[in-house]
Chain A
């Protein structure tokens, strides 16, 4: 989990280090857009914009979906954060369970010890 988060964080920071990519995120925060629309908006070639979107996608900040010939981009952070929050709450449930299980393990260990004596 730690490794997973760190890789994601590194990718996120790398993605956010570029002004165009930050601009793309801002734009997608207002409305979903196709790669073509984004390329026009930022005066880039389609190939250039595809690269930027690819970096954002890898960092989990943007998701894309191809419908017909149009690839639509939207903010992906929301899903990522929801998943992270859910995993943490699930971890807390198991942690609470296992704290109780620890007590049972201690008790049974003691019982075996007593029985053995």
Chain B
């Protein structure tokens, strides 16, 4: 990737850094103030937060981006079946840092996003901190999984042992 003169697409990484933390990183080919705008202006945010592959469109997005201000995002095919996500901003440092709570459930994470500009590009780091390991597991769906696939893995493991 790095050897190409103008990489078209920067890689996205996701890493579980502890029992209750997850870190997502991505570099954008633009200055921090532009990337920051895309996270803080509802009309821009709505254009990327729910990509087609997600399967559920964004219905509405309200953001009051200042410390103590709230946000509310609704997903769904229509208002009657909408799912809402909401919380408030704990820290707002323009073009550099956003911290917000997720208050739709007791075991939701606190999200920190930092924007670090270097040579006209912006490294974005999104950090999610869950209140406990149990909360992480409940939210991540790590407990759910795909039964058939894992039965196959069990079989593989047994065959390795024999």
Contacts and interface: CB of A to CB of B under 8 A. Distances in A.
Interface of A: 1, 4, 16, 22-27, 29-30, 61, 75, 77-79, 81-83, 85-88, 90-106, 108-109, 112
Describe A's contact surface by its main secondary structure: helix
Given A16-B160, A97-B51, A105-B28, A83 B16 contact: yes
A94 B157 contact: no
B48 A97 contact: yes
B13 A78 contact: no
Describe B's contact surface by its main secondary structure: mixed
Nearest to A91: B14
10 contacts: A78-B153, A85-B149, A86-B145, A93-B53, A94-B14, A94-B126, A101-B35, A102-B29, A104-B38, A104-B48
- Most chain B beta carbons < 10 A, residue from A16, A23, A83, A92: A83
Interface residues of B, number: 43
B49 interface: yes
Interface string B21-62: 010101011110011011000001001110111100000000
Contact of A78 (B9, B54, B140, B150): B150
A85 B16 CA distance: 12
Nearest to A2: B13
Contacts of A88: 14
- Most chain A beta carbons < 10 A, residue from B29, B48, B126: B48
A79 B26 CA distance: 27
Given A102-B28, A104-B48, A82 B160 contact: no
B150 A99 contact: no
